[in-house]
Structures are given as structure tokens and as C-alpha cells.
Amino acid sequence: MKEFWSSRIINATPYTPGEQPRDQIFIKLNTNENPYPPSPMALQFMADALGPDLRLYPDPECLELRQAVADYHGLEVGQVFVGNGSDEILSFCFQAFFEPNLEIVMPDISYGFYPIYADYFGLKTRLVPLDEQFDLPFSECANAAGGVVIANPNAPTGKALSLDSIQRILNTNRNVVVIVDEAYVDFGAQSAMVFVKDYPNLLIVKTLSKSRSLAGLRVGFAMGNTNLISALCCVRDSINSYPVDRIAQAGAIGAVQDESYFQTTRLSIMKTREATVRKLTKLGFQILDSSANFIFIHYPGRSAKELQEGLRDKGILVRWFNKPRIDNFLRISIGTDEEMDALCVAFKELLA
Amino acid sequence: MKEFWSSRIINATPYTPGEQPRDQIFIKLNTNENPYPPSPMALQFMADALGPDLRLYPDPECLELRQAVADYHGLEVGQVFVGNGSDEILSFCFQAFFEPNLEIVMPDISYGFYPIYADYFGLKTRLVPLDEQFDLPFSECANAAGGVVIANPNAPTGKALSLDSIQRILNTNRNVVVIVDEAYVDFGAQSAMVFVKDYPNLLIVKTLSKSRSLAGLRVGFAMGNTNLISALCCVRDSINSYPVDRIAQAGAIGAVQDESYFQTTRLSIMKTREATVRKLTKLGFQILDSSANFIFIHYPGRSAKELQEGLRDKGILVRWFNKPRIDNFLRISIGTDEEMDALCVAFKELLA
């Protein structure tokens, strides 16, 4: 029954997030969370914010947090936007920068929310097929009519784009907004932040959910020209003036400022990733080059769906996408060394 | 400069929230926050949620919190929706239930965000003028083409609608969704919750920002038929799967379950409101009957804007709206007894 549903939603196909089990009996490698806890500084700043002032609205401009992010990246406050996770920010981007009849260019295989935003907001897309190696043929992203949306590194492949490729995309799309989703950039790709000062049409989106271990807190950032940031503020203030609560603002400042913890944990995840790749390669898996906190893997002659189900029976959750071209791959988040060892043991048993 | 802005936002008029000063030198009676801190149980539950699990995404379905709200109101889990403040939920309602060419009925004087949502989502409105006493002529709300949106008690007037009036609005609008925004209902109005079981087109929206002292946490609820709740989930999952973070979910459960604290603080605010009304009436103010945690007042022969500025100079923030019919009124939140005493002293000086 969909009585009373508007025409806007009656045929909508919403996003399906990865399973979030309510018990903790699983080794959870399915939603690219960080295996390490949030920074102690982030936790301390949140504890400090837990008090009587929660009766008051948060700073709608998130000034202190934006200053912290700006300082970290060498930007001005006006070049930083803060939202309730990078998903909210991406949804704002699709409202702020794109027109119904002008196609948005995006890879055919990328973050599943992009085409959902396009559909939901009544926008058209031009999907650029990744090549056989799952690389983006960047020259085919030129002259987008409506805009460009890419993830670097890409999801769910984990493959990074070079800065040179990104610059070519920027150079061939001067008149539309180019969004670079850097949710996973801290695990080995190069950030396009260096281009912000020269390209007023570049917007970079980041999140605290991955490299900062705060998926549970819902904070994302966008960085770019002040004009683009103002557009995002306009969307926000047409919907919900205060999407980022007081505790989230405080915790985010701690996470951004705790550089040593950030470096330690992200490097540790990258090290675990390389070790996991070596072990799984030995087992016979084919694995795409990953610059993310997950790997995208394939076992010749075996059904990825069956492997996923087999892992689930052994208490390990990984992600399988029922989508063309990638339905024989598994996306596996990088956990602790112990979790990845358990994964390898489980795979060995399944493949025996 | 609005280069790259979409046609959706280029002419948008966003909402302007009340001032949130970053220092605490003001007596802040301008945004209807609760003068009392959040419940100790809410703070404790949040402290318990502050830990390693913040690395994990929150429960996107907010099941535990929805169960707590359902238990409190005698509903099923499927009849409860949770969002990032009631503003986000209201914006979802305008997307979920209304059609571009079918007029939404709302009072001409009400919460300022309603017409902004309508404009932003390309919807039409039919504004029903409040009468001279700022009461809603409910018979004029009959047969809405697209839907009905009312606040009970209304903002910024504070005036309540009787349950009988609400039932008449429901009876004369069987084929469209009727949204009753009960942000302030706990301060003396009657909730339309009693009608949920009989009217599948009724949706009630509430917030933790007012009577539960948690404006800084960003949590709101919607309650109604499961079909309406599913529509809100569809909107959410087309935008941002996880708008309510782990700490907010935990704190909200504590706030909802701490009944004695809730009763003590809301009754205290109502008592302070009555005392304030008596004192300001003595000073010569005309004051609308308030069922909210604010009062809407007018001083014959004096400019409300000048009084607001005078109060600001004395360190007291109140809200003035530059809008037809109400631009000679001030909306003043109910603070502590001490804050309201300070307000009365300041008014005495200004009027002398």
C-alpha cells in the first residue's frame, strides 16, 4: 500500500545500506568501517560537550569545526561546509549544482548512491563505462553537460585516479561543477585538494566515517570555492538549519586535530591491506589494486555470492553487489590483522 | 556571485534561524530552548554510548529508540519515524506527501519553515488567514487539494487548537495527509495522538528540542499510520541512510524514558509562564493565551522592533518577526524564574 505517497517517491528506488547487525557476533567487513576506535581526543571532546548546553541549539554555521578543517587543509573557513555525513552533503550537491535536462557524467560502476540521487532529484546521467581493468577512461568524462561526479579512490573497486587524470577532467569541464568524493582518499590515493584554488568549479567531499573511525557520529565535509559552499548552505537552510549536533561538532574537531592517531591508524590499515592482499593472492584470488580501506576481489571459477554466503555462515560479513559487471566480486573491508587472518582461514575452508 | 547554482536554488529564500550567540553573555529567550538541562538519564545514556562503537554506523532503523517512543505513546514500532530534528522530518513530509499542483493548506501565520519547504520543493499553498484573535478558522481548512499542515500549539502565537477543531479538520480532509506539528504540545495543548488509530492520513511530528531540553542533539519523531512512516523512510533512504547518530539515539532513549524529569521541568516552565504573563500584563502588555514555552506579546503604542533592540542592549535576546500582521509583536521564550524577572525589570526600564 502506498496511499498518500507523492509522485516524487511512489516509484523511487532508495539506497540499501550494508547490513548493520544488532548483535556483535560477526566479524564485520561489509560497510568499510574502521577497525580502530575513534581518537581519544575525539572521545574526550565529546565527553566535554556532554552537559547542560545540549539544551541549546548547535552553532548552525559549525564555525569552530569548519575552522579546524580549514586549518588542517590550508583553506579559509568560507571554503568548508559541514554536514550530517558525506551522504547528506552529496544529496545537497545534486540539488545545488545540477539541472534536470543536463546530463551528469559518472562512472557506470561507482558509489551506489550517485544514480539514486540523480533519479530522486529528477536528473539525467551519462554513465561512462569503466574499462576492463575497472579504470576510468577520463577522456570520456570531457564536456559534461550538467556536471561530473567521481569517487577517488573509486568504490567498490578501490582503484585510484591519478592527479593528472583528475586535472584533465577539470580542464575539460570548466563550465560545470566537478565533484570528487574522497571518502577513502586517506588510504593511499592523492587528494585533489591542490586544485581547489585554481578551479572554482571543483568540490571535494570527505567524511569522518572511514579514516577517522567515526561512522557512528555522522559528519562529512565539503571543500571548494566559497561560492559553491554558499550554494550548499542555501540547500541546507531550505531543509534543516542544524543538521550537525553539538556532540558531533565537538568530536569532529578532536578527530581532525589528532594527527598522530590518524596517521597511526590509517597506516596500520594500509599495512594490513597489503598483508591481506598477499595472503589472498596466494589462495588464488584476483584482487584489484586498492587505495582504500577495502579490497575488491574475485575468485576465478567460484561464485562470489556463494562465497559471501559461506563467509556469513562462518560469522564474517562482506559485501556482494547484485549488479552487472561486478556480481562476481566481493568487497571486503580491511579489519584488524586478527580479523583478516580469520577471513583467510574461512576462505581456505570454503575453497577446499 | 551564484555561478554554478542550480535553478532549484538560485532564487530560493532559505529559513533564517534565531540568533545563536557564540558567547554566553546574553539571557537567551529567542529560540524557544528549554532553560533546564537535559535529563540526567539522557546524559548518562549518551556517556555510555561514547566509546569504541562510534567507529560503526548507527542503526539506520533506530529500532531501539523507535521502540521507546512507541512504548511511551502506546504505538507500534512501525508507527514511529525518527529524524535529525523535526525540521528534517517536516522537509521529508513535504517531499513524501504533496504534489506540485495541489495546494497545501496552512495558516497564514505559523512556523516560518512551512512556506519555505513548499517553495523549495516546488509546491503550492493556500494560506488560511488566522482571525483577529489569531485563532485558526478551522472550517476554512476543509477540502484541501494537496494536504494540510498545522502547528498545535501554533507558532509564533502559542495558541492551541482544541481536539474538536483538529478532528473537524481531519473529517473534512480524508483524502490528503494532515500534518500536525506538535513541537510545543507538551506545554499545555492536547495531543492529536488519540486520532492516529482512526485516521490513516494523520501524521504527528514532535521534537526533543523543546520539552526534552535537547535542541543541541537534533532528534525529532513522526507518528502515524505505518504507510505514512514507510513513505518517510523512502525519502530518508533516497538522501541519507543514517541521519541520527549513535549518541543521539542513545540520549533520545534516555530523554523519552525519564518521565519524572520531563514532568517536573515542563510543569515548572508552565508555572513560570503564568507568572510572567501576570507580571507583563501588569506592565501593560497584551499577551496571547499561550500553550507553549513562549509567549507572544504586544505593547500598545510601542514599536516591538524598538523594544527588541532595547532588550538586546540590556543583554536579553527575544525574537521579532518582520512579517505582516505580527511585526508589532515579540515572541519571548520562557526561561527560568530569574531570567523572566530580569526580563520584567528590563521592560520596566524600557517603558519608563
Contacts of B22 in chain A (CB under 8 A): 59, 63
Q: Are residues B177 and B51 in the same domain?
A: yes
Predicted pLDDT at B20? 82
**pLDDT score of B300 more than 90:** yes
CB A289 within 8 A of CB A351: no
Predicted pLDDT at B33? 97
Q: What is the pLDDT of residues B52-92, one digit of tens each?
A: 999 999 999 999 999 999 999 999 999 999 999 999 999 99
- Sign for the pseudo-dihedral over CA of B168, B172, B175, B178: negative
Predicted pLDDT at A118? 97
Give the type of residue at B165: S
Domain that holds residue B159: 40-258
Considering the domain boundaries, does residue A206 fall inside one?
yes
Q: What is the pLDDT of residues A105-123, one digit of tens each?
A: 999 999 999 999 999 999 9
B30 in contact with A, Cβ within 8 Å: no
Helices of type H across A161-219: 163-171
Confidence of residue B192 (pLDDT cuts 50, 70, 90): very high
The CATH number covering residue A187 comes to 3.40.640.10
Residue B126 C-alpha cell reads as 493556500
CA distance A36 to chain B (A): 7
Q: Helix, strand or coil for residue B240?
A: coil
- Residue B148 to residue B159: CA distance in whole angstroms: 18
Q: Are residues A222 and A273 in the same domain?
A: no
Kindly write down the DSSP assignment for every residue of A209-260, as one continuous string.
SSTTS-TTT--EEEEE-HHHHHHHHHHHHTT-S--S-HHHHHHHHHHHH-HH
Give the type of residue at A304: A
What is the overall mean pLDDT for chain B?
97
Considering the domain boundaries, does residue A1 fall inside one?
no
Work out the average pLDDT over B206-218: 98
**Helix H or strand E encompassing B268:** helix B259-283
Confidence of residue B247 (pLDDT cuts 50, 70, 90): very high
- Residue B352 to residue B347: CA distance in whole angstroms: 8
**Helix H or strand E encompassing B169:** helix B163-171
**Helix H or strand E encompassing B343:** helix B337-351
Considering the domain boundaries, does residue A275 fall inside one?
yes
- Which of the residues A87, A238, A262 would you substitute to probe the B interface, choosing the one with the greatest number of B C-beta atoms within 10 Å? A238
- Residue B158 to residue B32: CA distance in whole angstroms: 11
| Residue B249: partners with Cβ closer than 8 Å, 6 or more residues away | B49, B58, B59, B62, B64, B65, B82, B219
Last residue of a domain, one of B258, B273, B308: B258
Q: Are residues B16 and B56 in the same domain?
A: no
Q: Are residues A146 and A111 in the same domain?
A: yes
| Domains: count for chain A | 2
- Cell 573497486 belongs to residue: A157
Q: What is the largest CA-CA distance in chain B?
A: 60
Work out the average pLDDT over B301-323: 96
**pLDDT score of B21 more than 90:** no
Q: Are residues A240 and A291 in the same domain?
A: no
A54 in contact with B, Cβ within 8 Å: yes
A112 in contact with B, Cβ within 8 Å: no
- State in Å, rounded, how far the first CA of chain A is from the last one: 47
**Helix H or strand E encompassing B28:** strand B27-28
> Which among A59, A27, A254, A101 is positioned nearest to B56, based on CA atoms?
A27
- Residue B225 to residue A252: CA distance in whole angstroms: 37
> Which among B198, B267, B189, B324 is positioned nearest to B181, based on CA atoms?
B189
Alpha-carbon distances, residue B284 vs B140, B257, B337, B341 (angstroms):
34, 41, 20, 16
CB A208 within 8 A of CB A74: no
Q: Are residues B52 and B168 in the same domain?
A: yes
Predicted pLDDT at B79? 98
- Residue A91 to residue A67: CA distance in whole angstroms: 23
> Which among B103, B216, B90, B245 is positioned nearest to B155, based on CA atoms?
B90
> Which among B177, B162, B317, B72 is positioned nearest to A56, based on CA atoms?
B317
Is B216 close to A243, i.e. CB distance below 8 A?
Answer: no
Q: What is the pLDDT of residues A59-106, one digit of tens each?
A: 999 999 999 999 999 999 999 999 999 999 999 999 999 999 999 999
Give the type of residue at B154: N
Question: Which of A4, A9, A43 shows the shortest C-beta gap to B235?
Answer: A9
Q: Are residues A156 and A192 in the same domain?
A: yes
| Residue B338: partners with Cβ closer than 8 Å, 6 or more residues away | none
Q: What is the pLDDT of residues B119-157, one digit of tens each?
A: 999 999 999 999 999 999 999 999 999 999 999 999 999
Q: Helix, strand or coil for residue B263?
A: helix
Work out the average pLDDT over B94-116: 97
DSSP-derived letter for residue A185 is G
| Residue A241: partners with Cβ closer than 8 Å, 6 or more residues away | A60, B15, B17, B87
Alpha-carbon distances, residue B329 vs A233, B302, B315, B321 (angstroms):
29, 10, 19, 8
Confidence of residue A22 (pLDDT cuts 50, 70, 90): confident
In chain A, the residue whose alpha carbon lies closest to the alpha carbon of B112 is A238
Estimate to the nearest angstrom the gap between the alpha carbon of A262 and the chain centroid: 17
CA distance A98 to chain B (A): 6
Predicted pLDDT at A21? 82
Q: Is-cis flag, bond preceding A60, omega within 30? A: no
- Residue A346 to residue A307: CA distance in whole angstroms: 10
Q: Helix, strand or coil for residue A157?
A: coil
Is B5 close to A234, i.e. CB distance below 8 A?
Answer: yes
Q: Are residues B116 and B194 in the same domain?
A: yes
The CATH number covering residue B334 comes to 3.90.1150.10
Considering the domain boundaries, does residue B176 fall inside one?
yes
Q: Which residues pair with A202 in a beta bridge?
A: A178
Q: Which of residues 234-263 of B touch A (CB under 8 A)?
A: 234-248, 251
Q: Helix, strand or coil for residue B110?
A: coil
**C-beta contacts of B43-49 below 8 A and 24+ residues apart:** B43/A50, B43/A51, B43/A54, B43/B251, B43/B254, B44/B254, B45/B250, B45/B251, B45/B253, B45/B254, B46/A50, B46/A247, B46/B247, B46/B250, B46/B251, B46/B254, B47/A47, B47/A50, B48/B250, B49/B246, B49/B247, B49/B249, B49/B250, B49/B251
Q: Are residues A172 and A94 in the same domain?
A: yes
**pLDDT score of A264 more than 90:** yes
Is A4 close to B228, i.e. CB distance below 8 A?
Answer: yes
- Residue A238 to residue B94: CA distance in whole angstroms: 12
Considering the domain boundaries, does residue A2 fall inside one?
no
Provide the percentage of residues in chain A whose pLDDT is more than 70: 99
Q: What is the pLDDT of residues A225-257, one digit of tens each?
A: 999 999 999 999 999 999 999 999 999 999 999
In chain A, the residue whose alpha carbon lies closest to the alpha carbon of B84 is A243
- Residue A253 to residue A244: CA distance in whole angstroms: 12
Burial of A256 (C-beta count, 10 Å sphere; 0-12/13-18/19+): buried
- Residue A342 to residue A86: CA distance in whole angstroms: 31
Last residue of a domain, one of A210, A228, A259: A259
- Cell 499545555 belongs to residue: B188
**pLDDT score of B51 more than 90:** yes
> Which among B261, B255, B265, B260 is positioned nearest to B69, based on CA atoms?
B255
Residue B329 C-alpha cell reads as 509583536
Question: Which of A7, A95, A246 shows the shortest C-beta gap to B8?
Answer: A95
Ramachandran angles phi, psi of A139, nearest 5°? -65, -25
Predicted pLDDT at A25? 84
Q: What is the pLDDT of residues A309-349, one digit of tens each?
A: 999 999 999 999 999 999 999 999 999 999 999 999 999 99
Residue B351 C-alpha cell reads as 517603558
Considering the domain boundaries, does residue A203 fall inside one?
yes
Question: Which of B17, B59, B97 shows the shortest C-beta gap to A22?
Answer: B59
Last residue of a domain, one of B236, B258, B280: B258
Considering the domain boundaries, does residue A209 fall inside one?
yes
> Which among A245, A252, A220 is positioned nearest to A92, based on CA atoms?
A220
Q: Are residues A114 and A166 in the same domain?
A: yes
**pLDDT score of A24 more than 90:** no
Q: Helix, strand or coil for residue A281?
A: helix
Q: Are residues B243 and B289 in the same domain?
A: no
CB A35 within 8 A of CB A334: yes
- Asked whether the ipTM of the predicted complex exceeds the cut of 0.90, the reply is yes
Q: Helix, strand or coil for residue A126?
A: strand
Sheet holding B202-207, edge to edge: B80-83, B220-224, B202-207, B178-181, B147-151, B104-107, B125-128
Q: Are residues B128 and B269 in the same domain?
A: no
**pLDDT score of B273 more than 80:** yes
CA distance A49 to chain B (A): 10
Considering the domain boundaries, does residue B1 fall inside one?
no
Give the other-Cβ count within 10 Å of A259's Cβ: 11
